[in-house]
Amino acid sequence: MNNPFKQFRDAKKLSQAQAAALLGVNKSTFSRWEHGICKPDIGTLAQLAKRMGVSRKKLRPDVYGAAQ
């Protein structure tokens, strides 16, 4: 699985609720991102990428192109 939200949570050894709190979203939002049900909107990507320590490309390759 190559989901950056799952990778972030696993690397930090966090529950979904803990990861969501770190990112400033509710648990259900984080869960939907992690399971690929929906994607974060463009307006929040810069903040999410910074908090997660990843590029916007990794979070939304459909918008920014695939991460290298």
Q: What is the DSSP string of 9-63?
A: HHHHT--HHHHHHHHTS-HHHHHHHHTTS----HHHHHHHHHHHTS-HHHH-HHH
Query: Does a structural domain hold residue 62?
Result: no
pTM here is: 0.88
CATH number at residue 46: 1.10.260.40
Looking at the domain assignment, is residue 59 inside a domain?
Answer: no
In a domain, 64, yes or no: no
User: How many domains, the chain?
Assistant: 1
Q: Both ends of the chain: CA-CA distance in Å?
A: 17
pLDDT, tens only, 4-61:
999 999 999 999 999 999 999 999 999 999 999 999 999 999 999 999 999 999 999 9
pLDDT at 67: 57
| Residue 66, domain member (yes or no) | no
